Structure 1
Amino acid sequence: MERNLTYQLGRSSSEDLVGYTSPTSNSPAAYESDFYYPDLGINCDPENIPAFPSTFFPVLYSLLFGTGLVGNALVIWVLTVFKKIRTMTDVYLLNLAIADLLFVFSLPFLVQYSIMSQWTFGNAMCKIISSAYFIGFYSSVFFITIMSIDRYLAIVQSVYALKIRTAVHGVITSLVLWVIAILVSMPDLIFFQEVNDHNQIKCIPYYPDGNSSWKTFSNFEVNILGWLIPVGVLIFCYHSILKSLQKCHTQNKYKAIKLVFVVVIVFFLFWTPINIVLFLDSLRNMYIIDNCQTSRWLDLAMELAEALSFVHCCLNPVIYVFVGEKFKNHLCEAFRKSACFLSICKDCNAFNGHSLDKHSSLHTKSSQSSVVGTVL
Structure 2
Amino acid sequence: MDASLSDIDFNTTFVDDHFLFKDTVDGFGITMVLLYLVVCILGLAGNSLVIIAILKLDKLSSSTTVYIFNLALADGLFMVGLPFIASQNFQNEWMFGDVACKVVMVLDGINQFTSVFCLTAMSIDRYMALADPLRFARWRTPRWAKMVSVFLWLFSLLTILPMALHFTSDRGLCIPDFVSDDWWLGVLSYTFVMGFALPFTVMTASYTALLLTMRFQRIRATSLNLATHRLESQVTKMVVAVVVVFGMCWLPFYTFNFYALYQMGLVMTFARAFEFVVLLSYSWSCANPILYACFSDTFWRHFRTLLCPAAKTPPSMQCNTERYDLNDRDVTILA
Q: With the length of structure 2 as denominator, give the TM-score of the two structures.
A: 0.85
Q: Is the 8 A contact 1:329 1:356 kept in 2?
A: no
Amino acid at match of 2:298: K
Q: Which residue pairs with 1:307 in the alignment?
A: 279
1:313-332 to structure 2, matched below 5 A, reads 313-320=285-292, 323-332=295-304
Structure with more relative contact order (C-alpha pairs < 8 Å, separation 6 or more): 2
1:299–1:119 distance in 2 versus 1, CA, 3 Å = closer
Change in CA separation of 1:5 and 1:211 when aligned onto 2, cut-off 3 Å: same
Deviation (angstroms), 1:135: 1.3
Amino acid at match of 1:92: Y
Partner of 1:213: 182
Structure 1 counterpart of 2:175: 204
User: Helix, strand or coil: the match of 2:18?
Assistant: coil
Q: What CA distance in whole angstroms lies between the structure 2 residues aligned with 1:87 and 1:28?
A: 52
Kindly indicate whether residue 275 of structure 2 is the aligned counterpart of residue 275 of structure 1.
Answer: no
Percent of aligned positions with the same letter in both sequences?
Answer: 25
User: In structure 2, what is the equivalent of residue 345 of structure 1?
Assistant: none
Match of 1:21 in 2: 16
Could you tell me how far 1:24 is from its partner in structure 2? 1.6
Instruction: Render the CA deviation track for 1:237-263: whole Å, top value 9, x for unaligned.
Output: 111111233344324132331221111
Q: TM-score, normalised by structure 1?
A: 0.76
Once the two structures are superposed, residues 216-270 of structure 1 have per-residue CA deviations (whole angstroms, 9 ceiling, x without a partner) of 2221122101111012111211111112333443241323312211111111111
**Count of residues in correspondence between the two structures:** 324
- Paired AA for residue 186 in structure 2: F
Structure with greater helix percent: 2
Q: CA deviation at 1:297?
A: 5.7
Distance in 1, Cα, partners of 2:321 & 2:19 = 60
- Taking the TM superposition and a 5 Å limit, the aligned residue runs for 1:23-42 are 23-27=18-22
Partners of 1:216 and 1:298 lie apart in 2 by 19
CA separation of 1:290/1:190 partners in 2, compared to 1, >3 Å: closer, same or farther? Answer: closer
Q: Distance in 2 between matches of 1:272 and 1:29?
A: 29
Aligned to 1:40: none
Alignment of 1:176-191 (within 5 A): 176-191=151-166
The Cα shift of 1:154 comes to: 0.7
d(CA) in 2 for partners of 1:318, 1:367: 28
Q: How does 1:75-224 map to 2 (within 5 A)?
A: 75-195=50-170, 197=171, 201-207=172-178, 210-224=179-193
Please tell me whether residue 255 in structure 1 is matched to residue 227 in structure 2.
no
**Pick aligned residue for 1:225 from 183, 186, 194:** 194
Against the structure 1 CA distance between its residues 164 and 321, is the aligned structure 2 distance closer, same or farther, given a 3 Å change threshold? farther
Structure with greater Cα Rg: 1
